[in-house]
Structure 1
Amino acid sequence: MTHLERLATIGLWLRRRAENIAALMLAVMFTAFIVQVVFRYLLNLPSGSASELTTIMWLWLVLWGAGFVLREREEIRFDFLISMVSPRIRRIMTIIACVALLFLYGYSLPAVWDFVTFMKIQETSYLDLRYDWVYSIYIFFVLAILVRYAWLLWQAIRGRDLDGSRSAGAEGEA
């Protein structure tokens, strides 16, 4: 097994574990939602903790999924615009978008870190979770996005499409 094949195998294993974690979060969110419905409508009792857990799991599920589970080709984008241009222009657009996103997320990371770590002074109303723990998923999300777009930028500079094939207009091609 070559080095690249081992890396691909490890990457696939990590992606599957990320999907497992997302499924677990969805199960927790769904269970908390059912508990909330049962307490509110069948037992006529308030259940703020179930509502709070549902909200936190939704936040974590969306950012975890976008950062670690969602593949590049599954993201929502303006395909009609990209499909109308040549592969060379598409590559240039990818490079510009990657540089812009790397700059914006990278520039915002210190402020995000300051905010998240500052929020340790507050806790949630029902579960008494510190808000720095609740919002920490955003730091993981930003780091995952930075790695993803650095990789995409590298691939675009090398003249590779998102699927890894050579694109027209790459250096050394006619």
Structure 2
Amino acid sequence: MAQAARSFIDRIEEIFIALLLGLMTLLTFANVIARYVFNANILWALELTVFMFAWLVLLGASYAVKKGAHLGVDAIVNVVSPKLKRALGVVAAVVCMAFAFLLLKGAWDYWANFANLPATEGRWFPTGFEEKFRGKGWYETNDIPVPEVLRFIEGLFNDGDEYEKLPRLIPYVVLPVSMALFLLRSVQAFFAIVTGKIDMLIVSHEAEDDVEEAAERLAADLKEQ
């Protein structure tokens, strides 16, 4: 049951990331056609594409940690003993967790005021939430229109006043969400290393070995012919 649930969640993440990439491509293509064929322009296309690219990168970064797909230098870890290799993996995971935590704090502090929420106090680690702050829920994007289905947020973040453009709190929410996922994936990787399920965070050379093996087989077949 747990494995099926994980596979289902993985599938949702993959579909969402693929959907972002597909929508970016379609929107860019549509804007090119509109500009050079119909001498028109989708005014909000560029800004929305930039936001979707940011979502793609940030969500993809946490998903890559989950799948162990990040690239890294393994010149040292591949020549040490398995015990030391695991110890180095634990150290790397701890560093990643600390880094992810700092990113999460920074992401929350940047986004919070756009959602009329308090940022944290403290330079490196949260020491509480700020008591006085200026809400920025009224800040809007430059060109992206507001979908009618999201009009209900006007009463929540803009004192009932109508938004002319999409409020920034919506595209910017990916910052704390993605960093929270990045921290979660780092913690999961830490426990996976400690329990011996994996031995390092970066991608292995299995794919590279498979490619080399396929190339050798192809060369052998061509030689026989």
**Pairwise CA distance, 1:69:** 5.8
1:141-160 to 2 correspondences below 5 Å = 141-160=178-197
Contact 1:63 1:138 in 2 (8 A): yes
Letter in 1 for 2:141: T
**Residues 106 and 147 (structure 1 numbering): CA distance in 2 closer, same or farther, change over 3 Å?**
same
2: CA distance between counterparts of 1:46 and 1:155?
50
**Pairwise CA distance, 1:147:** 1.4
Q: Which protein is bigger by CA-based radius of gyration?
A: 2
Pair 1:66-2:50 in alignment = no
The secondary structure found in structure 1 opposite 2:76 is helix
Aligned residue for 1:126? 143
Aligned residue for 1:18? 13
Pair 1:117-2:127 in alignment = no
**Pairwise CA distance, 1:126:** 0.6
Aligned residue for 1:97? 92
**Pairwise CA distance, 1:84:** 2.4
Contact 1:124 1:130 in 2 (8 A): yes
Aligned residue for 1:168? none
Q: TM-score, normalised by structure 2?
A: 0.63
Contact 1:36 1:50 in 2 (8 A): yes
**Pairwise CA distance, 1:79:** 2.7
The superposition leaves residues 38-92 of structure 1 with CA deviations (integer Å, 9 ceiling, x where unpaired) of: 1222222333311112111111112222223664332111133322222222211
Among 27, 32, 39, which residue is 2:27 paired with? 32
**Residues 17 and 72 (structure 1 numbering): CA distance in 2 closer, same or farther, change over 3 Å?**
closer
Aligned residue for 2:121? none
Letter in 2 for 1:125: N
2: CA distance between counterparts of 1:102 and 1:144?
11
Aligned residue for 2:52? 57
The structure carrying a bigger helix percent of its residues is: 1
CA RMSD of aligned residues (A): 2.1
Contact 1:29 1:58 in 2 (8 A): yes
Among 25, 31, 43, which residue is 2:38 paired with? 43
**Residues 71 and 157 (structure 1 numbering): CA distance in 2 closer, same or farther, change over 3 Å?**
closer
Write out the 4+ residue segments of structure 1 that deviate beyond 4 Å after TM superposition. Answer: none
**Residues 59 and 35 (structure 1 numbering): CA distance in 2 closer, same or farther, change over 3 Å?**
same
Identity, in percent, stands at: 24
**Residues 49 and 100 (structure 1 numbering): CA distance in 2 closer, same or farther, change over 3 Å?**
same
1: CA distance between counterparts of 2:189 and 2:76?
19
What is the number of equivalent residue pairs in this alignment? 158
The superposition leaves residues 96-125 of structure 1 with CA deviations (integer Å, 9 ceiling, x where unpaired) of: 111112122213423321211223532211
Q: TM-score, normalised by structure 1?
A: 0.80
Query: What residue ranges of structure 1 are gaps of 5+ in the alignment?
Result: 1-5, 164-174
Aligned residue for 1:171? none
Query: What residue ranges of structure 2 are gaps of 5+ in the alignment?
Result: 116-135, 145-164, 201-225
